[in-house]
Chains A and B, each alone.
Chain A
Amino acid sequence: DSGVTQTPKHLITATGQRVTLRCSPRSGDLSVYWYQQSLDQGLQFLIQYYNGEERAKGNILERFSAQQFPDLHSELNLSSLELGDSALYFCASSWDSRSYEQYFGPGTRLTVT
């Protein structure tokens, strides 16, 4: 158990809908990272927050957004969902802004039908 929790574990929704994925980092960790894992794209970095502020941005679509709250949990919002957004979404955390050692949550599997 990495100490990172993600909810929900599974999510099935229709095209055009909007969903929110939630992540709680390990106790004491200030950085949260979001990744998308799909069969064709592999594991792709989406976005990083550090102590409430956006720190780095990767291959995140404009339809996707994220935020980190004062209690350090983070949410990833996916809107206008398309079939191609079906993937595993992982959250990871680390204690500082450098990604020397990231601890991954179990992931949320999103299926868009």
Chain B
Amino acid sequence: GDSVTQMEGPVTLSEEAFLTINCTYTATGYPSLFWYVQYPGEGLQLLLKATKADDKGSNKGFEATYRKETTSFHLEKGSVQVSDSAVYFCALSDAMSEKLVFGKGMKLTVNP
């Protein structure tokens, strides 16, 4: 079945550091790819998405590019802030199954 593998962490960075969270997927067909973020005590929020190969999703300084050749959707941010401390989930949606499949999530802590 479909699956998502991502860095699990936890990861601690200093403010203004560069962030990369790796995510690779296995799916039949052409899934849509997502990054969700979960701030402490809250539900998941959609951070960004890409629905086809070579699409780049971006939001709040975060970016991820749908790479079909490497089946990857790595999340990057050039300069993290303390407010980015959260758990980040990579996910895919297969149009055939109509459900989201999540990676295990990665906890990020950003220190001042």
Seen from chain A, the residues whose Cβ lies within 8 Å of a Cβ on chain B are 2, 4, 33, 42-43, 45, 48, 55-56, 58, 90, 92, 97-107
Cβ–Cβ contact A99 & B42, under 8 A: no
Closest 10 CB pairs of A and B: A104-B43, A104-B44, A43-B102, A42-B104, A99-B93, A106-B43, A45-B99, A56-B99, A99-B100, A105-B43
> In angstroms, how far is the closest chain A Cβ from the Cβ of B7?
14
Q: Does B71 contact A (CB under 8 A)?
A: no
Partner of A100 from B41, B49, B97 at Cβ < 8 Å: B49
> In angstroms, how far is the closest chain B Cβ from the Cβ of A103?
8
> In angstroms, how far is the closest chain B Cβ from the Cβ of A110?
15
Taking CB atoms, residues of chain A closer than 8 Å to B69 are none
Q: Does B51 contact A (CB under 8 A)?
A: yes
> In angstroms, how far is the closest chain B Cβ from the Cβ of A96?
9
Cβ–Cβ contact A90 & B99, under 8 A: no
Q: Considering residues A58, A92, A100, A105, which has the most beta carbons from chain B within 10 angstroms of its beta carbon?
A: A100
Taking CB atoms, residues of chain A closer than 8 Å to B46 are 101-103
Taking CB atoms, residues of chain B closer than 8 Å to A100 are 32, 49, 51, 93
Partner of A98 from B41, B45, B93, B101 at Cβ < 8 Å: B93
Would you give the 0/1 interface string for B11-47, flagging 1 where the beta carbon is closer than 8 Å to chain A?
A: 0000000000000000000001000100001111110
Partner of A99 from B43, B99, B103, B104 at Cβ < 8 Å: B99
Cβ–Cβ contact A42 & B105, under 8 A: yes
Main secondary structure of the interface of B (DSSP, over half): strand
Q: Does B82 contact A (CB under 8 A)?
A: no
CB nearest to A57 among chain B residues = B99
Contacts A43-B89, A45-B101 given; indicate if A98 touches B43 (C-beta within 8 A): no
> In angstroms, how far is the closest chain B Cβ from the Cβ of A7?
13
Partner of A107 from B36, B43, B49 at Cβ < 8 Å: B43
Taking CB atoms, residues of chain B closer than 8 Å to A104 are 36, 43-45
CB nearest to B89 among chain A residues = A43
Taking CB atoms, residues of chain B closer than 8 Å to A99 are 93, 98-100
Q: How far is the CA of A101 from the CA of B59 in the complex (A)?
A: 15
Q: How far is the CA of A55 from the CA of B45 in the complex (A)?
A: 23
